[in-house]
Structure 1
Amino acid sequence: MNTGVQARLDRISEDGRYLVIPMDHGITMGAVDGLADIESTIDGVTSGGATAVLTQKGIAPRVHDHKNGAGYVVHLNGSTTLGPDENDKRITGTVEDAIRVGADAVSVHINVGSTYEREQIADLGEITTKAAEYGMPVLAMTYARGPDVSDKSDPTAYAEDVAHAVRLGEELGADVVKTSYTGTPESFERVVEATRLPVVIAGGSKGTDRETLETVAGAMDAGAAGVSTGRSVFQHQNPRAITDGIAAVVRDGVDPEAAAKEAGLTAEA
């Protein structure tokens, strides 16, 4: 691995474990709860143990003074909930843009199996090529989403499609891949085994504290390298506390109930 890539990966992780809080949702959903005062949220999650935060490039001036030494990832594509299809992610920045605003890594979202798969594959391939010129790591958010993707109600079948998605990320030159949790540790093992890259799970929509921590624990039991979870953290009533709980599971292998207690969370909240 390129020395620059490894050095920058170390800035967004801790001992090979990742706890990234994406907050690029402002482009998708607007200034929702947790993002209007994004400075306070960034301060809270990084104080709670996040290894990195992730935003679109324009938010960079609001990030650096509040990230408490954590890493910074700039996301390079997006879409909105107001548009005709949220799966149609379009390029919003370049690797050079990310470097100019002080990023330690870049990220790209791709929906494998969607109508837009061809364009997004090409986008990811171009970005990994350009990023390699600068020793800049790429976090590929590789989701299995489309009409022929297996239903999540069948974790075994769904895991095959998710495994395909993460392998695609490695094939195209990414350094870390993010994807959906398949529902059980047993099924997610298939996903982790499909690539030699670190695999982190997405958080999805906000659930209870117990659901969040149990999902994280299941993924870690299956061999995941961590999490990249947004809404379940930045829309939490106490972003620092839920981040602290997740960090205990990811970093120290603490069971969900004990992690919730240590973080001062109500496991059923």
Structure 2
Amino acid sequence: MNTGKSARLERIGTDGKFVTVPMDHGITLGPVKGLRDIESTIDAVTRGGADAVLTQKGVADRVHGNKNDKGYIVHLNGSTVIGPDENDKRLTGSVEDAVKVGADAVSFHMNVGSEHEPDQMTQLAEICSDAEDLGIPVLAMAYARGEGIDEHDAESLGHAVRLAEELGADVVKTAYSGDAESFEYVTGSTSLPVIIAGGSPSGDLQTLKDVRGVVDAGGAGVSMGRSIFQHDDPEAMARAVAAVVHEDASAEEALEIAGLAEGVEA
């Protein structure tokens, strides 16, 4: 890994661990709760303990000045829920575009096992090559998604994360397999840091138990969007997740640290 990549990886994580809050959902879902006033949300989650935030390039001017000196990742493809195929992620920018808007890293979403896999594989490989030339880290969002595929199957997820490494990514994000024991297969499938997606919010305690499971399985953290930025208290939820990832707290301890324990169901 070149010096530039190493330096920039330190900007988007802490000691090899990552709490990233993706907020690129404006393309996918539209201006949903937490994204209408994205400036306030970015300020809240980075004050709470997020290492980095992630958006599409077009809102970069709304990120800088609100991220409290934390890292910034620009996402390079997307799709919408109202389009013909949400899995058909199309390019929305280049590594050079990301550099121009002040990104510390780039990310790219790939659906391994879908009919779009061949094009997305080629695109990710090209992005990794371009990023290597510029010393920019690549976060590959590698999911197991396609007809007949269980999106949470550990073997399928293991294939997806290994594919990301083979193509040149530096960090890989994927779905959680549901428990620490099975997720050990996923983290053991690659030498890259493996972080999990948040998905649909499932309640504070369960979300933090999942994060705890990832850490116990050798994972490097999370890239968690809606469970944090759509929370009634995004700063507190970011603080709770960061406590598990960076302070080795249990789910229950993290709720206490963040002041979220009261009223949470077991």
- TM-score tier after normalising by the smaller chain length: over 0.9
* Runs of 4+ off more than 4 Å: none
2:265 to 242, 263, 268: 268
C-alpha separation in 2, matches of 1:189 and 1:49: 26
8 Å Cα contact 2:239/2:258 also seen in 1: yes
**Residue 89 of structure 1 corresponds to which residue in structure 2?**
89
Report the Cα offset of residue 204 of structure 1: 0.3
**Residue 74 of structure 1 corresponds to which residue in structure 2?**
74
**Residue 177 of structure 2 corresponds to which residue in structure 1?**
182
1:161 to 149, 156, 175: 156
Aligned residue for 1:194, secondary structure, equals coil
| TM-score when normalising by structure 2 | 0.98
Query: Aligned-residue CA RMSD in angstroms?
Result: 1.0
1:104-162 alpha-carbon deviations (Å, 9 max, x no partner): 0000000000010011001101100111110000000000001132364xxxxx10000
C-alpha separation in 1, matches of 2:242 and 2:95: 29
1:192-226 alpha-carbon deviations (Å, 9 max, x no partner): 00000000000001120001100000010000001
Aligned residue for 2:106, secondary structure, equals strand
| TM-score when normalising by structure 1 | 0.97
* Residue identity matched to 1:245: A
8 Å Cα contact 1:129/1:173 also seen in 2: yes
**Residue 64 of structure 2 corresponds to which residue in structure 1?**
64
* Residue identity matched to 1:190: Y
User: Residues 248-259 of structure 1 correspond to what in structure 2 (within 5 A)?
Assistant: 248-259=243-254
C-alpha separation in 1, matches of 2:70 and 2:265: 29
8 Å Cα contact 1:113/1:148 also seen in 2: no
* Residue identity matched to 2:135: G
Report the Cα offset of residue 268 of structure 1: 2.8
Name structure 1 gaps, 5 residues minimum. Answer: 153-157
* Residue identity matched to 2:181: E
Aligned residue for 1:65, secondary structure, equals coil
* Residue identity matched to 1:177: V
User: Residues 1-269 of structure 1 correspond to what in structure 2 (within 5 A)?
Assistant: 1-150=1-150, 152=152, 158-266=153-261, 267-268=264-265
C-alpha separation in 2, matches of 1:135 and 1:151: 32
C-alpha separation in 2, matches of 1:162 and 1:144: 6
C-alpha separation in 1, matches of 2:151 and 2:117: 19
The percent identity for this pair of structures is 61
Report the Cα offset of residue 261 of structure 1: 1.1
Aligned residue for 2:173, secondary structure, equals strand
